[in-house]
Amino acid sequence: MAESEQTQVIQPKKKMGFGKKLIIILAVIVAFLGVCSLMIVHQNNQLEKKFYQVKSNKVVDNIRIVALADLHLKEFGKDNEKLVAEVKNLSPDIVAIVGDMNLESQPDNYSSVISLKQLNEIAPVYYCLGNHEIDAMLFKNSNIYKDIKAEGIKIFNNETETVNIGGTAIDIIGLTQNPTEFDEYGKDFFEKAMSADDNFKLLLTHYPEYFLGKLNDYDIDLAITGHAHGGQVRLPFIGGLYAADQGLFPKLCDGYHEDGNSKFIVSRGLGKSGIVPRINNKPEIVIADISWY
């Protein structure tokens, strides 16, 4: 063998130890979860506007209702300035609140009242209580009902009011009872309100579950509800995953529905009340434009 020739010894590559593999895998998982968390936080601070066109021969001119639900003390900007600005840009005739602007667990936090005062300067606000307001009032001695009313906002607790918009008379009905208590505490009030006259009937109630058997046979021109949070987690091609009082894969957690003689909208709402974040479920402002046929 020539002196210039050298023998090359190839050393076997050292295999990566289990510990290093585990660290890399965990780092990838943490990075992935971090990116997902940032995306969820970003998405949950965006406001999505959902428009619905409702036809009725009971209206003279077009009427726009902007509806908010389930804020649960969430803030979109300081004092909800971003939310208020979005509502103002929509030029509503009525702002409808269908409950749970507060959190029962924070009965003395009335930050949403500031938002309501600002909204009431844009258009008359009509507020129907949800389960968090009712529970805070019953079990936590909350003054939220009195405080909202003191700001000149019409707040309903099984009450009704007739308003005139552009020559159209609208009976706004605020039904606050949980559907399980409807027959005992809410039915007499509701049937009286429905039969009072031939005006357009706008029902504000927190619970879409009313349309799983209780109210389907009534001639409700339009109802607006919330409570279901859009199913909280929304799965592609499937929809909402879970809603309180409906369970897994809820039937009524978002969108426009017609059932029997009733038309109703289920808002996905704006905030959350539990530990599970809203996933693939942007906060929603509902806009219902009512027009003659």
| pLDDT tens column, 3-20 | 555 666 666 666 667 777
Give the SS3 label for residue 33: helix
Give the SS3 label for residue 59: coil
In this prediction, residue 53 carries a pLDDT of: 96
The three state secondary structure string of 73-85 is: CCCCCHHHHHHHH
CA dist., res. 80 & res. 16, Å (int): 52
In this prediction, residue 7 carries a pLDDT of: 63
Mean pLDDT to the nearest integer, 48-56: 96
In this prediction, residue 127 carries a pLDDT of: 97
Among 87, 92, 141, 150, which residue's Cα sits nearest to residue 115?
A: 87
**Window from 26-30, 57-61, 96-100, 132-136 with minimum mean pLDDT:** 26-30
Tell me how many degrees the CA angle 226-208-230 measures, rounded to the nearest 5.
50
Q: What are residue 203's phi and psi, to 5 degrees?
A: -100, 125
Q: Binning pLDDT at 50, 70 and 90, where does residue 208 land?
A: very high
Average pLDDT, the chain: 90
pLDDT digits (tens, 9 = 90+) for 74-107: 999 999 999 999 999 999 999 999 999 999 888 8
| pTM of the predicted structure, to 2 decimals | 0.88
pLDDT exceeding 70 applies to what percent of the chain? 94
In this prediction, residue 243 carries a pLDDT of: 96
| Under 8 Å between Cβ of 67 and 52 | no
The DSSP 8-state label assigned to residue 152 in this structure reads T
Print burial letters for 187-216: b (CB count within 10 Å at least 16), e (below 16): eebbeebbeeeebbbbbbbbbbbbbbebbe
In this prediction, residue 125 carries a pLDDT of: 97
Task: Find which of 69-73, 145-149, 272-276 is predicted with most confidence, using mean pLDDT.
Answer: 69-73
Among 86, 212, 94, which residue's Cα sits nearest to residue 164?
A: 94
Name every residue whose Cβ is closer than 8 Å to that of residue 86 and which is 6 or more positions away in sequence.
47, 49, 285
Residue 274 reports pLDDT greater than 90? no
Report the DSSP beta bridge partners of residue 95: 66, 125
In this prediction, residue 31 carries a pLDDT of: 75
Tokens linked to 6 = 């050298």
